[in-house]
Amino acid sequence: MQFKPAVKYQSRLRLALIGPAGSGKTYSSLNIARYLGDKVALVDTEHGSASKYADLFRFDVLELTSFSPQVYVDAIRAAVGYDVLILDSLSHAWMGKDGALELVDRAAKRAGNSFAAWREVTPLHNMLVETMLSSPLHLIVTMRSKMAYVVEMDDKTKKTTVRKVGMQPVQRDGLEYEFDVVADMDVDNTLIVSKTRCPALKGQVIPCPGEEVASTLKAWLAGEPAPTHRERIVTRIQDLAQESAELGEAVDVDQALLSLSSTV
């Protein structure tokens, strides 16, 4: 094993927007996406609701009727070639028709216990997460939040109001932390950053997010050109050759590179 200097490469966005119904997750996703790239694709899980914004934003849509993790994986792979992909929403892959929880219920009936069922379904969900994170395009996902209501009193008027607030996202516990930026959306369409790897967005509260958020993220995502798949393999071959030489073993690097040229 050998340590090397860290390099910040150009990367793709992984953004999660979490909020209750009516908080503007779909609109905000499209409003941010249009400043990230020209070609935007959206996976719609809510009966064509995203297309109601087709007069405001230019995007292609794929409407799902089954929300199996495998269906999401296939949709993400089909979007390769676009600049930005929006999954609206990812919650359906957990709690929706053919989603993870429904698959667990079916597997539990076959196996007779839930432990065996989760052993069957968890790899599918893990594959979905890995496909999202490794996708070669900007990714924005929305997630519904479990609902709660709070009673607030105005200190001056002493009047009370009931306000709808969001709680945990409807997805596997901890999934939101797989993303670069996680933001809550409130019912006033305000973006509240709760977790970020982008220092410029730390603690930010942004009404009606759009170009400002996208510009900040694009600046943060910039870096050295990322190595191609072939370049990474070549580097790995050279590293293995060096390690072998240190062990007194010979590796024909030229032959390995020649074989690589015929396969990659």
pLDDT at residue 263 above 60? no
- What is the average pLDDT value for the chain, to the nearest integer? 89
The alpha carbon torsion through 172, 177, 182, 187 (nearest 10 deg) reads 30
Helices (H) and strands (E) in the chain, counts: 7, 9
Segment (H or E) for 72: helix 69-78
Mean pLDDT of the region 46-67 = 96
- The confidence score (pLDDT) of residue 153 equals 84
Mean pLDDT of the region 45-61 = 96
Mean pLDDT of the region 72-86 = 97
Q: What is the pTM of this model?
A: 0.81
What SS3 state is found at 167? Answer: strand
Buried/exposed 28-50: b ≥16 CB within 10 Å, e otherwise: bbbbbbbebbeebbbbbbeeeeb
Q: Would you mind telling me the total number of residues written for the chain in this entry?
A: 264
